[in-house]
Protein backbone atom coordinates (compact mmCIF):
# COMPACT_ATOMS: atom_id res chain seq x y z
CA UNK A 1 0.00 0.00 0.00
CA UNK A 2 0.88 3.69 0.01
CA UNK A 3 3.30 4.88 2.65
CA UNK A 4 2.51 8.38 3.93
CA UNK A 5 5.23 11.00 4.11
CA UNK A 6 4.91 11.28 7.88
CA UNK A 7 5.28 7.51 8.18
CA UNK A 8 8.47 7.72 6.09
CA UNK A 9 9.92 10.45 8.33
CA UNK A 10 9.20 8.42 11.46
CA UNK A 11 10.54 5.25 9.84
CA UNK A 12 13.78 7.01 8.92
CA UNK A 13 14.75 8.14 12.41
CA UNK A 14 13.39 5.11 14.24
CA UNK A 15 15.07 2.80 11.70
CA UNK A 16 18.37 4.56 12.33
CA UNK A 17 18.15 4.19 16.11
CA UNK A 18 17.20 0.53 15.79
CA UNK A 19 20.15 -0.16 13.52
CA UNK A 20 22.49 1.47 16.03
CA UNK A 21 21.06 -0.27 19.11
CA UNK A 22 20.63 -3.68 17.51
CA UNK A 23 23.88 -3.50 15.55
CA UNK A 24 25.99 -2.72 18.60
CA UNK A 25 26.04 -6.40 19.50
CA UNK A 26 28.30 -7.37 16.60
CA UNK A 27 30.49 -4.28 16.20
CA UNK A 28 33.99 -5.38 15.24
CA UNK A 29 33.13 -9.00 14.38
CA UNK A 30 34.65 -10.21 11.11
CA UNK A 31 31.37 -11.41 9.66
CA UNK A 32 28.45 -12.97 11.48
CA UNK A 33 26.65 -16.22 10.58
CA UNK A 34 22.96 -15.64 9.81
CA UNK A 35 21.84 -17.95 12.63
CA UNK A 36 23.64 -15.77 15.19
CA UNK A 37 22.04 -12.66 13.73
CA UNK A 38 18.60 -14.28 13.80
CA UNK A 39 19.09 -15.50 17.34
CA UNK A 40 19.92 -11.94 18.43
CA UNK A 41 16.88 -10.57 16.60
CA UNK A 42 14.43 -13.18 17.91
CA UNK A 43 15.59 -12.27 21.42
CA UNK A 44 14.00 -8.86 20.86
CA UNK A 45 10.57 -10.49 20.67
CA UNK A 46 10.92 -11.79 24.22
CA UNK A 47 8.59 -9.61 26.30
CA UNK A 48 10.20 -10.54 29.59
CA UNK A 49 13.38 -8.62 28.85
CA UNK A 50 12.05 -5.17 29.65
CA UNK A 51 12.02 -1.93 27.72
CA UNK A 52 14.97 -0.17 26.14
CA UNK A 53 17.35 -2.99 26.96
CA UNK A 54 19.63 -2.22 24.02
CA UNK A 55 21.44 1.07 24.52
CA UNK A 56 22.26 3.44 21.72
CA UNK A 57 25.80 4.54 20.92
CA UNK A 58 27.48 7.71 19.61
CA UNK A 59 25.61 7.32 16.31
CA UNK A 60 22.23 8.02 17.90
CA UNK A 61 23.65 10.38 20.54
CA UNK A 62 24.96 12.68 17.80
CA UNK A 63 21.90 12.24 15.57
CA UNK A 64 19.75 13.45 18.48
CA UNK A 65 21.99 16.53 18.73
CA UNK A 66 21.56 17.20 15.00
CA UNK A 67 17.77 16.87 15.24
CA UNK A 68 17.44 19.04 18.34
CA UNK A 69 19.68 21.71 16.85
CA UNK A 70 17.85 21.85 13.50
CA UNK A 71 14.53 22.05 15.36
CA UNK A 72 15.38 24.72 17.92
CA UNK A 73 17.24 26.89 15.39
CA UNK A 74 14.68 26.14 12.62
CA UNK A 75 17.63 25.43 10.33
CA UNK A 76 21.39 24.92 10.45
CA UNK A 77 23.37 26.82 13.09
CA UNK A 78 26.94 25.56 13.39
CA UNK A 79 27.57 27.16 16.80
CA UNK A 80 24.50 25.58 18.32
CA UNK A 81 25.14 22.17 16.78
CA UNK A 82 28.79 22.18 17.89
CA UNK A 83 27.78 23.10 21.43
CA UNK A 84 25.28 20.25 21.53
CA UNK A 85 27.87 17.70 20.35
CA UNK A 86 30.30 18.89 23.02
CA UNK A 87 27.71 18.87 25.78
CA UNK A 88 26.39 15.43 24.85
CA UNK A 89 29.92 14.04 24.90
CA UNK A 90 30.74 15.60 28.27
CA UNK A 91 27.55 14.19 29.82
CA UNK A 92 27.91 10.68 28.35
CA UNK A 93 31.46 10.08 27.11
CA UNK A 94 31.07 6.28 27.22
CA UNK A 95 28.87 5.85 24.15
CA UNK A 96 31.63 4.34 22.00
CA UNK A 97 32.91 7.40 20.14
CA UNK A 98 35.72 7.04 17.60
CA UNK A 99 39.13 7.42 19.20
CA UNK A 100 40.07 10.54 17.20
CA UNK A 101 36.83 12.50 17.38
CA UNK A 102 36.88 12.78 21.18
CA UNK A 103 39.67 15.36 20.88
CA UNK A 104 37.44 17.48 18.65
CA UNK A 105 34.53 17.14 21.05
CA UNK A 106 36.69 18.26 23.97
CA UNK A 107 37.90 21.32 22.06
CA UNK A 108 34.35 22.19 20.99
CA UNK A 109 33.45 22.47 24.67
CA UNK A 110 35.76 25.46 25.14
CA UNK A 111 33.84 28.73 25.51
CA UNK A 112 36.83 30.64 24.01
CA UNK A 113 36.58 28.79 20.70
CA UNK A 114 35.50 31.17 17.93
CA UNK A 115 35.79 29.00 14.79
CA UNK A 116 33.84 25.81 15.46
CA UNK A 117 35.21 24.17 12.29
CA UNK A 118 38.83 24.56 13.41
CA UNK A 119 39.18 21.60 15.84
CA UNK A 120 38.09 19.14 13.12
CA UNK A 121 40.67 20.58 10.72
CA UNK A 122 43.49 19.77 13.14
CA UNK A 123 42.73 16.01 13.08
CA UNK A 124 45.02 13.42 11.51
CA UNK A 125 47.92 15.68 10.65
CA UNK A 126 45.71 18.47 9.35
CA UNK A 127 43.77 16.61 6.67
CA UNK A 128 40.86 15.82 8.95
CA UNK A 129 39.06 12.57 9.70
CA UNK A 130 37.65 10.29 7.00
CA UNK A 131 35.71 8.25 9.59
CA UNK A 132 31.99 7.63 9.20
CA UNK A 133 31.02 9.79 12.20
CA UNK A 134 29.65 12.54 9.96
CA UNK A 135 27.63 10.12 7.85
CA UNK A 136 26.15 8.14 10.76
CA UNK A 137 24.28 11.24 11.98
CA UNK A 138 23.32 12.73 8.58
CA UNK A 139 19.72 11.49 8.23
CA UNK A 140 18.00 14.42 10.00
CA UNK A 141 19.31 16.84 7.35
CA UNK A 142 17.10 15.08 4.81
CA UNK A 143 14.14 15.47 7.17
CA UNK A 144 14.72 19.18 7.76
CA UNK A 145 15.27 20.46 4.21
CA UNK A 146 13.15 19.92 1.12
CA UNK A 147 15.59 20.91 -1.59
CA UNK A 148 18.40 18.57 -2.56
CA UNK A 149 20.75 21.58 -2.67
CA UNK A 150 20.03 22.38 0.99
CA UNK A 151 20.35 18.74 2.00
CA UNK A 152 23.77 18.69 0.30
CA UNK A 153 24.97 22.00 1.72
CA UNK A 154 23.94 21.48 5.34
CA UNK A 155 24.77 17.79 5.68
CA UNK A 156 28.26 18.73 4.49
CA UNK A 157 28.65 21.58 6.98
CA UNK A 158 27.16 19.51 9.80
CA UNK A 159 29.72 16.77 9.16
CA UNK A 160 32.59 19.28 8.90
CA UNK A 161 32.18 20.11 12.59
CA UNK A 162 34.04 16.86 13.28
CA UNK A 163 35.13 15.52 9.85
CA UNK A 164 36.99 17.96 7.63
CA UNK A 165 38.44 15.42 5.18
CA UNK A 166 36.32 15.36 2.01
CA UNK A 167 35.96 11.57 2.30
CA UNK A 168 34.35 12.13 5.69
CA UNK A 169 31.90 14.90 4.80
CA UNK A 170 31.10 13.57 1.33
CA UNK A 171 30.05 10.32 2.97
CA UNK A 172 27.59 12.37 5.02
CA UNK A 173 26.31 14.08 1.86
CA UNK A 174 25.78 10.69 0.20
CA UNK A 175 23.92 9.30 3.22
CA UNK A 176 21.70 12.39 3.49
CA UNK A 177 20.90 12.29 -0.24
CA UNK A 178 20.04 8.59 -0.02
CA UNK A 179 17.54 9.34 2.78
CA UNK A 180 16.24 12.33 0.79
CA UNK A 181 15.52 10.17 -2.27
CA UNK A 182 14.06 7.38 -0.17
CA UNK A 183 11.62 9.80 1.52
CA UNK A 184 10.36 10.66 -1.95
CA UNK A 185 9.69 7.01 -2.79
CA UNK A 186 12.52 6.71 -5.30
CA UNK A 187 13.44 3.24 -4.03
CA UNK A 188 10.38 1.91 -5.85
CA UNK A 189 12.73 2.17 -8.86
CA UNK A 190 16.07 0.87 -7.57
CA UNK A 191 17.96 1.56 -10.81
CA UNK A 192 16.80 5.15 -10.82
CA UNK A 193 17.74 5.49 -7.15
CA UNK A 194 21.34 4.37 -7.67
CA UNK A 195 21.73 6.32 -10.93
CA UNK A 196 20.56 9.51 -9.25
CA UNK A 197 23.02 9.03 -6.40
CA UNK A 198 25.83 8.47 -8.89
CA UNK A 199 25.05 11.63 -10.81
CA UNK A 200 24.71 13.65 -7.59
CA UNK A 201 28.08 12.37 -6.36
CA UNK A 202 29.73 13.09 -9.72
CA UNK A 203 28.95 16.75 -9.12
CA UNK A 204 30.01 16.58 -5.45
CA UNK A 205 33.33 14.84 -6.17
CA UNK A 206 34.34 17.19 -8.97
CA UNK A 207 35.35 19.58 -6.22
CA UNK A 208 39.06 20.45 -6.06
CA UNK A 209 39.50 19.42 -2.42
CA UNK A 210 37.83 16.08 -3.08
CA UNK A 211 40.19 15.53 -6.03
CA UNK A 212 43.20 16.43 -3.91
CA UNK A 213 42.17 14.20 -0.97
CA UNK A 214 41.50 11.15 -3.10
CA UNK A 215 44.91 11.54 -4.72
CA UNK A 216 46.66 11.98 -1.35
CA UNK A 217 44.92 8.87 0.00
CA UNK A 218 45.67 6.82 -3.13
CA UNK A 219 42.03 6.29 -4.00
CA UNK A 220 40.13 6.25 -7.28
CA UNK A 221 39.54 9.71 -8.73
CA UNK A 222 35.82 9.80 -7.87
CA UNK A 223 35.91 7.39 -4.92
CA UNK A 224 32.22 7.45 -3.95
CA UNK A 225 31.12 7.20 -7.58
CA UNK A 226 33.44 4.24 -8.05
CA UNK A 227 31.91 2.48 -5.03
CA UNK A 228 28.38 3.24 -6.21
CA UNK A 229 29.19 1.68 -9.57
CA UNK A 230 30.29 -1.42 -7.65
CA UNK A 231 26.98 -1.35 -5.78
CA UNK A 232 25.25 -1.41 -9.17
CA UNK A 233 27.38 -4.31 -10.36
CA UNK A 234 26.64 -6.30 -7.22
CA UNK A 235 22.92 -5.60 -7.65
CA UNK A 236 23.06 -6.87 -11.21
CA UNK A 237 24.98 -9.96 -10.13
CA UNK A 238 21.95 -10.64 -7.85
CA UNK A 239 23.32 -13.26 -5.51
CA UNK A 240 26.57 -11.73 -4.36
CA UNK A 241 28.00 -13.47 -1.30
CA UNK A 242 28.66 -11.73 2.01
CA UNK A 243 32.40 -12.18 1.37
CA UNK A 244 32.17 -10.45 -2.01
CA UNK A 245 30.23 -7.55 -0.53
CA UNK A 246 32.78 -7.10 2.24
CA UNK A 247 35.75 -7.28 -0.10
CA UNK A 248 34.29 -5.01 -2.79
CA UNK A 249 32.50 -2.41 -0.66
CA UNK A 250 34.01 -2.77 2.80
CA UNK A 251 32.48 -2.88 6.28
CA UNK A 252 34.87 -0.53 8.06
CA UNK A 253 34.86 2.63 10.11
CA UNK A 254 35.90 4.85 7.15
CA UNK A 255 32.93 6.59 5.52
CA UNK A 256 34.03 5.28 2.12
CA UNK A 257 33.92 1.72 3.45
CA UNK A 258 30.52 1.96 5.04
CA UNK A 259 28.12 4.43 3.37
CA UNK A 260 27.99 2.70 -0.05
CA UNK A 261 27.81 -0.61 1.85
CA UNK A 262 24.74 0.58 3.78
CA UNK A 263 23.12 1.66 0.51
CA UNK A 264 23.83 -1.79 -0.93
CA UNK A 265 22.22 -3.48 2.10
CA UNK A 266 18.98 -1.56 1.47
CA UNK A 267 18.92 -2.32 -2.26
CA UNK A 268 19.82 -5.98 -1.80
CA UNK A 269 17.03 -6.47 0.76
CA UNK A 270 14.25 -4.94 -1.33
CA UNK A 271 13.36 -8.55 -2.09
CA UNK A 272 13.33 -11.79 -0.07
CA UNK A 273 16.77 -13.30 0.51
CA UNK A 274 17.99 -16.78 1.24
CA UNK A 275 18.96 -17.24 4.87
CA UNK A 276 16.46 -14.66 6.13
CA UNK A 277 13.01 -15.65 7.48
CA UNK A 278 10.14 -15.40 5.02
CA UNK A 279 7.97 -13.52 7.49
CA UNK A 280 10.52 -10.69 7.62
CA UNK A 281 9.57 -7.46 5.88
CA UNK A 282 12.12 -5.35 4.02
CA UNK A 283 13.23 -3.31 7.00
CA UNK A 284 13.86 -6.39 9.12
CA UNK A 285 15.80 -7.96 6.25
CA UNK A 286 17.89 -4.83 5.82
CA UNK A 287 18.93 -4.67 9.46
CA UNK A 288 19.58 -8.41 9.66
CA UNK A 289 21.69 -8.34 6.51
CA UNK A 290 23.70 -5.34 7.73
CA UNK A 291 24.60 -7.20 10.91
CA UNK A 292 25.68 -10.27 8.97
CA UNK A 293 28.40 -8.22 7.25
CA UNK A 294 30.20 -7.69 10.56
CA UNK A 295 32.65 -4.82 10.92
CA UNK A 296 31.11 -1.49 11.84
CA UNK A 297 27.69 -3.07 12.32
CA UNK A 298 26.06 -0.41 14.49
CA UNK A 299 26.86 2.32 11.99
CA UNK A 300 26.13 0.37 8.80
CA UNK A 301 22.81 -0.82 10.26
CA UNK A 302 22.06 2.72 11.48
CA UNK A 303 22.60 4.25 8.03
CA UNK A 304 20.82 1.40 6.21
CA UNK A 305 18.03 1.58 8.81
CA UNK A 306 17.48 5.28 8.06
CA UNK A 307 17.28 4.75 4.29
CA UNK A 308 15.10 1.63 4.60
CA UNK A 309 12.90 3.20 7.26
CA UNK A 310 12.22 6.15 4.94
CA UNK A 311 11.14 3.68 2.26
CA UNK A 312 8.97 1.25 4.24
CA UNK A 313 7.64 3.67 6.86
CA UNK A 314 7.09 3.33 10.60
CA UNK A 315 4.36 0.67 10.32
CA UNK A 316 6.90 -1.77 8.88
CA UNK A 317 9.01 -1.66 12.03
CA UNK A 318 8.14 -4.33 14.62
CA UNK A 319 6.82 -2.88 17.89
CA UNK A 320 8.93 -5.32 19.90
CA UNK A 321 12.10 -4.06 18.20
CA UNK A 322 11.12 -0.49 18.94
CA UNK A 323 10.43 -1.30 22.59
CA UNK A 324 13.83 -2.97 22.93
CA UNK A 325 15.80 0.07 21.85
CA UNK A 326 16.71 3.05 23.96
CA UNK A 327 15.81 6.29 22.21
CA UNK A 328 13.39 4.82 19.65
CA UNK A 329 10.41 6.62 21.12
CA UNK A 330 12.21 9.95 21.24
CA UNK A 331 13.37 9.48 17.64
CA UNK A 332 9.74 9.00 16.63
CA UNK A 333 8.79 12.29 18.28
CA UNK A 334 11.74 14.12 16.75
CA UNK A 335 10.75 12.83 13.31
CA UNK A 336 7.25 14.19 13.75
CA UNK A 337 8.63 17.61 14.70
CA UNK A 338 11.06 17.57 11.75
CA UNK A 339 8.13 16.76 9.48
CA UNK A 340 6.55 20.04 10.55
CA UNK A 341 9.81 21.94 10.03
CA UNK A 342 10.16 20.41 6.55
CA UNK A 343 6.73 21.67 5.58
CA UNK A 344 7.25 25.10 7.12
CA UNK A 345 7.39 27.93 4.61
CA UNK A 346 10.78 29.51 5.03
CA UNK A 347 11.89 32.83 3.52
CA UNK A 348 14.66 31.24 1.42
CA UNK A 349 12.23 28.74 -0.21
O1 LIG B 1 34.37 8.96 12.50
P2 LIG B 1 34.22 8.88 13.96
O3 LIG B 1 33.24 9.78 14.61
O4 LIG B 1 33.90 7.40 14.36
C5 LIG B 1 32.64 6.86 14.13
C6 LIG B 1 32.67 5.41 14.44
C7 LIG B 1 31.35 4.75 14.27
O8 LIG B 1 31.54 3.41 13.89
C9 LIG B 1 30.75 4.81 15.64
O10 LIG B 1 29.79 3.81 15.85
C11 LIG B 1 31.97 4.66 16.55
O12 LIG B 1 32.27 3.35 16.86
O13 LIG B 1 33.03 5.23 15.81
O14 LIG B 1 35.58 9.04 14.71
P15 LIG B 1 37.06 9.38 14.18
O16 LIG B 1 37.92 9.17 15.36
O17 LIG B 1 37.08 10.69 13.51
O18 LIG B 1 37.34 8.28 13.06
C19 LIG B 1 37.20 6.91 13.38
C20 LIG B 1 38.50 6.18 13.13
O21 LIG B 1 38.80 6.20 11.75
C22 LIG B 1 39.70 6.81 13.78
O23 LIG B 1 39.79 6.50 15.14
C24 LIG B 1 40.83 6.24 12.93
O25 LIG B 1 41.10 4.92 13.32
C26 LIG B 1 40.20 6.21 11.56
N27 LIG B 1 40.57 7.41 10.78
C28 LIG B 1 41.78 7.67 10.28
N29 LIG B 1 42.91 6.98 10.35
C30 LIG B 1 43.98 7.49 9.72
N31 LIG B 1 43.96 8.65 9.04
C32 LIG B 1 39.78 8.44 10.45
N33 LIG B 1 40.45 9.37 9.72
C34 LIG B 1 41.70 8.91 9.60
C35 LIG B 1 42.86 9.43 8.94
O36 LIG B 1 42.88 10.49 8.30
MG1 LIG C 1 28.54 3.75 17.51
MG1 LIG D 1 30.06 2.15 14.57
Number of domains in the chain: 1
CATH of the domain at 144: 1.10.4080.10
**Residue at 1 is within a domain:** no
**Residue at 95 is within a domain:** yes
Q: Which residues form ligand 1's pocket by a CB distance below 6 Å?
A: 57-59, 96-101, 124, 127, 129-133, 136, 165, 253, 296, 298-299
In the chain, the percentage of residues whose pLDDT exceeds 70 is 97
**Residue at 250 is within a domain:** yes
pLDDT, tens digit, for every residue of 132-149?
Answer: 999 999 999 999 999 999
Output the pLDDT for position 349: 54
Residue 16 above 70 pLDDT? Answer: yes
**Residue at 29 is within a domain:** yes
Dist CA 226 CA 249 (whole Å)? 10
Residue nearest to atom 18 of ligand 1 (CA): 131
Output the pLDDT for position 238: 84
Model confidence at 190, pLDDT cuts 50, 70, 90, reads: very high
Model confidence at 39, pLDDT cuts 50, 70, 90, reads: very high
Model confidence at 45, pLDDT cuts 50, 70, 90, reads: confident
**Residue at 87 is within a domain:** yes
For residue 34, what are the CA distances in angstroms to 27, 40, 210, 321? Answer: 15, 10, 37, 18
Domain ranges, residue 170: 8-342
Residue 346 above 80 pLDDT? Answer: no
How far, in Å, from the CA of 329 to the mean position of ligand 2?
19
Across 33-47, 166-180, 198-212, least confident range: 33-47
Q: Which alpha helices (H) appear in the chain, and where do they start and end?
A: 5-23, 34-42, 58-72, 78-91, 101-108, 118-121, 139-144, 148-160, 166-183, 190-205, 208-216, 223-237, 242-249, 259-268, 282-292, 297-312, 319-324, 328-342
How far, in Å, from the CA of 240 to the mean position of ligand 1?
28
Model confidence at 348, pLDDT cuts 50, 70, 90, reads: low
Nearest to 339 by CA among 60, 13, 9: 9
Residue 345 above 80 pLDDT? Answer: no
Output the pLDDT for position 322: 96
**Residue at 349 is within a domain:** no
Residue 46 above 90 pLDDT? Answer: no
Residue nearest to atom 27 of ligand 1 (CA): 131
Model confidence at 1, pLDDT cuts 50, 70, 90, reads: low
Output the pLDDT for position 97: 98
**Residue at 115 is within a domain:** yes
The ligand 1 atom nearest the CA atom of 123: 36
Report which DSSP code applies to 127: T
Model confidence at 170, pLDDT cuts 50, 70, 90, reads: very high
Output the pLDDT for position 203: 98
**Residue at 347 is within a domain:** no
Nearest to 145 by CA among 176, 167, 119, 118: 176
Phi first, then psi, for residue 11 (nearest 5°) are -60, -40
Dist CA 290 CA 285 (whole Å)? 8
pLDDT, tens digit, for every residue of 246-296?
Answer: 999 999 999 999 999 999 999 999 999 999 999 999 999 999 999 999 999
- Tell me what the pLDDT averaged over the chain comes to: 96
Nearest to 179 by CA among 143, 203, 211, 154: 143
- Collect all residues with Cβ–Cβ distance below 8 Å to 67 and sequence separation of at least 6: 13, 140, 143, 331, 334, 337, 338
Residue 160 above 70 pLDDT? Answer: yes
Report which DSSP code applies to 55: P
The ligand 1 atom nearest the CA atom of 131: 1
Mean pLDDT value across residues 220-241: 95
This model of the complex carries an ipTM of 0.99
Total residue count of the chain as it appears in this document: 349
Dist CA 65 CA 83 (whole Å)? 9
Judging by beta carbons within 10 Å of its beta carbon (0-12, 13-18, 19+), is residue 271 exposed, middle or buried? exposed
Amino acid sequence: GQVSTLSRFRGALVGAVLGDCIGGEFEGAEDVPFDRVLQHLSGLEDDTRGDGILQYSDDTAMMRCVSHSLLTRTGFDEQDMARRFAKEYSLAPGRGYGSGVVQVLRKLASPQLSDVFQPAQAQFGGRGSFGNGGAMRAAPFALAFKNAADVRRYSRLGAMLTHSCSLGYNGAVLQALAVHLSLQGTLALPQEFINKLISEMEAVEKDETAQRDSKALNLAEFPYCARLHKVKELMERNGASIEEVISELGNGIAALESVPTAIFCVLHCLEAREGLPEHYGGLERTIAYSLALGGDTDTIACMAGAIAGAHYGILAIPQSWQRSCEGAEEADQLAERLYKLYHLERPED
